[in-house]
Amino acid sequence: MAGCLLQQVAADSYWADAELSDRWQQYLQQSAALLQQQQQDFRAELREAGLTQPVAAVRLKGFGLSAIESAEQLSAVLSYQSHSGGWSKGTDMRQPRQPGQWAGSEPDYIPTFDNGATSTQMRWLMAYFPKADATSQRQIRHSLNRALLFLLQAQYPHGGFPQSYPLRGSYHDAVTLNDHVMAELLTLLWDISESTLFSTEQQQQAREGFRRGVQFLVNAVVVLKGRPTVWAAQHHPLTLTPVAARKFEQASLVSTESAKLLALLLGKASDQPGVHCTLCYGALWLQQHQIKDKKWQRTATGSSLEPEKGRVLWARFYSLSDEKPVFFDRDGQTYSDVNQLSLERQQGYGWYQSEGKAFLKAWAKRPELQQQCAPSQQELGHATKAP
Q: What's residue 85's pLDDT? A: 97
Q: What's residue 9's pLDDT? A: 41
Q: What's residue 3's pLDDT? A: 30
For residues 210 and 207, give the distance between their C-alpha atoms in angstroms, rounded to a whole number.
5
Q: What's residue 259's pLDDT? A: 98
The ranges of the chain with pLDDT < 70 are 1-12, 375-387
240's torsion region: left (phi>0), alpha (psi -120 to 50) or beta? left
- The edge-to-edge listing of strands for the beta sheet with 253-254 is 231-232, 253-254, 317-318
- Run of H or E including 208: helix 200-220
For residues 303 and 346, give the distance between their C-alpha atoms in angstroms, rounded to a whole number.
7
CATH 1.50.10.20 boundaries in the chain: 22-220, 223-239+250-387
The correct answer on CATH 2.60.260.20 for the domain covering 22-220 is: no
**DSSP letters along 32-64, please?**
HHHHHHHHHHHHHHHHHHT-SSPBPPPB-SS-S
Which residues sit opposite 228 in a β-bridge?
223
Q: What's the predicted TM-score (pTM) here?
A: 0.92
Report, at the CATH architecture level, how domain 223-239+250-387 is classified: Alpha/alpha barrel (1.50)
Q: What's residue 16's pLDDT? A: 86
**CA 73: distance to chain centroid?**
25
Q: What's residue 77's pLDDT? A: 98
Q: What's residue 17's pLDDT? A: 85
CA–CA distances in Å: residue 12 to residues 15, 16, 75, 138, 195: 8, 6, 40, 43, 41
CA dihedral 237, 242, 246, 249 (to 10 degrees): 150
